[in-house]
Structure 1
Amino acid sequence: MAVRARAARTGVYQYAGREIDPDNTHGLRDTAVVNVLRDESAVFDERAVRSFIGKPITDDHPSQPVTADNWRTHARGTIMGAMRDGEYLAFDLMLTDAPTVAKVNAGKRELSNGYACDVEIGDFTAPDGTKCQARQKPGSIIGNHVALVDRGRAGSDCAICDALPSNLFDTLKTEKPVKTMVIDGLTVDMANADTAIATVQTLIAARDAATGKVTTLEAQTVADAATLVAKDAEIAKLTKALADAKPTLQQLRDAGKAFAVIEAKAKANGVAVTDAMDEAAIMKAVVDKAMPGNTYEGEHVRIAFDALTKDTKVDQPKVQPIGAPAQITDAHTDYLNDRAKQRAALSSAWKTPFNAADAA
């Protein structure tokens, strides 16, 4: 299914306070509804629009960003192009998954963009006069996917809509009858309606077959491109893993310092750390303690951990002097040292005046 559909708009979007200010830095966390302004400079920023091209279409929003590692799990199609449609941003969408196409045909048609952006807190006013407590920073949007949803935040206008093809026979005029007409190399007897209809139907069937082949080739091209992207990502991952397999002494020192800081922050926040816990497990324990019931995974855990512990003070480890090194010897070394002293004494004995009393 190849369609062009509106997927985003300018104006005011409403979010829960905990989505905008989870740490209550600006006192908005417990606000039921926060108006967030998305103006033209944010929605139609060229870099932002281009960032969506080639990204996947998903069935509902996944719980984590779509990457090369989970693309096969979430992708149901591809964003092929983008254009401005008045106050809307429209995408050319290629749906290549039969169950998802069936859902669209059954009525699941609204769209919702998945992206990352920076949010500015302040007093803003939308063109219609609506007061907003925040706005999406222009130039900060980075697209990740477009989700097919039951009800999108942008409203019912951002959806896949029906597009009925024009009737081919509407263009046939009867005011100037013609006996024959050449259509795509075929001579059609227009005086005979049955023959004309049969010929046109043949042409339509040929056109549909060619369109089907083109659609199949386009889908295969998309699949091949995605496979190449996945392979390139895997090669890059393996290359990095190979490089990281032999860490330098400095990397080991840095890793040890980083782990020590994470462990210290966790303990300062009341989390019991065991020897069996790695960095990810420690950070997850801190996030789970502060935000019971969260479903964060992967990079979201690190982001939440950094936010929760950014003001946590930890003591930096200091180097303590251990004093001068002690000289340690064994019995054999002591024996050799005594022999050396005896030889030295004997070698200089002739210099000592003879004393008969001592000899006696």
Structure 2
Amino acid sequence: MLLTDSVSVSGVRRTADGYLVADARVARTGIQEYLGSEVDPDNEHGLRDKPIVRLYRPPESVFHKDAMHSYAYRPMTNGHPKGAEVNAENWKELAVGQTGGEVLRDGDFVRVPLVLMDAKAIRDYEAGKRELSMGYSAEVIFQDGVTPAGEPFDVSLGPMTMNHLSLEHRARGGEQLRIGDQRAPVADSPAQSTPTGGHDMAEALRKILVDGLTIEVTEQGEQVIEKLKKQLSDAGFQLKSVNDSHATVLAAKDTELAKKDAEIDALKTKQLSDADIDKRVQERADLIAKAKQIADGDYTGKSADEIRKAAVVAKLGDAAIADKGDAYISARFDILLEDAGGPDPVRHHFRAQDSKPNNPSDNGQSAYETNLRDAWKGGSK
């Protein structure tokens, strides 16, 4: 896993040919604080979303024989290359200097000589970009514990292998990584040709705006705040998405209800009154009676047009109305009805019955008496 660390530079001098030479502590033992996403980017151990992970670098890892050899002759860069190590393929593009070969243990620190050879990197240094950050790889041991000094940690490192040394603005470890016994101020301008370095704790604080308030925090604090702000923003977006989806569902339901209401209103307009029903029943009965005048048959279940057609076909045959429309068939029906004798024979029969005297209590007595009275007229044998 590729990690980075930061320290400050001291013992700076300029050579006759313009190079900047210094002696610096570039690594230390103890605990450093990292973001969870730095040590567990794939979240295999559940640390990716943890704001602060305490990483312990024991002396046996920092001062391991192979680790000490790897500090020597490392390329220097002006900022860490993004997502890549320095190698033979990109060295010419990235390198601005290198470390020397005299690697020493200095208490809990590792000290190495270095030289900056790139003019822009030297100008950046003179403008205040004073700290150093090692880019290295190491096995991360995902097991918590407590240091010999009693400090708890979340993960620890195995032996370290250095890749490059980067010139940076801010140190991860803060003031304790300051190099040298004196604390000299940062150069105010590039005109100072031999800055002495040093690390002021105030330089490690950054001013950021949070909800309208300006606060000072460390680099790690700024990263944590930005991450929390992003999480709040994502949560707000997700809530908006849920609300939008809910509104869409409600709108669809409202549309569906409105459609049902329209259908109900349409059905209400189609309902017939009692008078309308009586009228239609009478019209149908009259039509069936007329059809039976033309040709007696079963007209049950047929529409008005079908009744007329059936009567005409029964009277004249299919050929008479082949390929003819409803208007033609209706006209032939009316002509056949006129030929059949005009008025409805059923009604004529009932009207004839109504014209005869009717005495239901007579029981044939009058006819009997008339026969007795007129019997002599016909003669009996």
Q: Tell me the TM-score range normalised by the shorter chain.
A: 0.3 to 0.5
* Structure having the higher Rg: 2
Q: Please give the TM-score of this superposition, normalised by the length of structure 1.
A: 0.43
Q: Please give the TM-score of this superposition, normalised by the length of structure 2.
A: 0.40
